[in-house]
Amino acid sequence: MTLSTPELEADRQALIALIKDEAVFHGDFTLSSGKKATYYVDMRKLTLDHRAAPAIGRIVLDLLQGLDGIEAVGGLTLGADPIANAVLHESVRAGRPVDAFVVRKEPKDHGRGRQIEGAEVAGKRVVVVEDTSTTGGSPLKAVEVLRKAGAEPVAVISIVDRKTGAQVAIEAEGLQWLAAIDLADLGLDPQ
């Protein structure tokens, strides 16, 4: 994948270098999907880092360009939260405002009892974002909650695609799949 401008592609290459240097850990890991892996890509280390977050926002905003009428981005808390916020801020800076939302794992048991916080999503075209994808389970949980709330999820964007089935699962739900970086970019093999 190459982004739409040389500046954005430079952002992407700088992000790849940061991930390789600071967010890939080798050892024995259990992923959120329950799968075992000999490396772990800890994107939260970078989605919450001042060097990477603005570039992540610009990269995701660039990926949104091919999708019509997107009004908000977000996903399952915690992984999606900093990405959605980065996109929100970069979209305003770029003059193409996009709102953000957060999908809780469970509805709140107090206050308004909401499961989706932030932008109102009913009747809106939205995109689910996440930091890394293995099976697609987290974004699909967010999609299910969004659909129940009357939103129209149209795509899932992952910063790093582990190439382990997420794309197939997402596309099976009728959603478009976009990823900024895959394992080949990081010099890693699928597990």
* pLDDT at residue 51 is higher than 90: yes
Q: Which residues are annotated binding-site positions for 5-phospho-alpha-D-ribose 1-diphosphate?
A: 104-105, 108, 110, 130-138
CB proximity list for 70: less than 8 A, separation 6 or greater:
64, 98, 125, 126, 127, 154
pTM score, whole prediction: 0.94
Q: Which pLDDT value is given to residue 111?
A: 62
Could you tell me which of 116, 121, 77 has the C-alpha nearest to residue 99?
A: 121
pLDDT tens profile 139-164:
999 999 999 999 999 999 999 999 98
Average pLDDT, the chain: 93
Q: Which residues are annotated binding-site positions?
A: 104-105, 108, 110, 130-138, 162
Most confident of 29-33, 59-63, 133-137: 59-63
For residues 160 and 144, give the distance between their C-alpha atoms in angstroms, rounded to a whole number: 22
CB proximity list for 39: less than 8 A, separation 6 or greater:
24, 25, 26, 27, 29, 188, 191
CB 41 within 8 A of CB 24: yes
DSSP 124-155: -EEEEEEEEESSSHHHHHHHHHHHHTT-EEEE
CB 158 within 8 A of CB 131: yes
CB 34 within 8 A of CB 154: no
Q: Which residues are annotated binding-site positions for orotate?
A: 134, 162
Q: Is the dihedral of CA 79, 51, 91, 166 positive or negative?
A: negative
* pLDDT at residue 110 is higher than 70: no
For residues 93 and 61, give the distance between their C-alpha atoms in angstroms, rounded to a whole number: 11
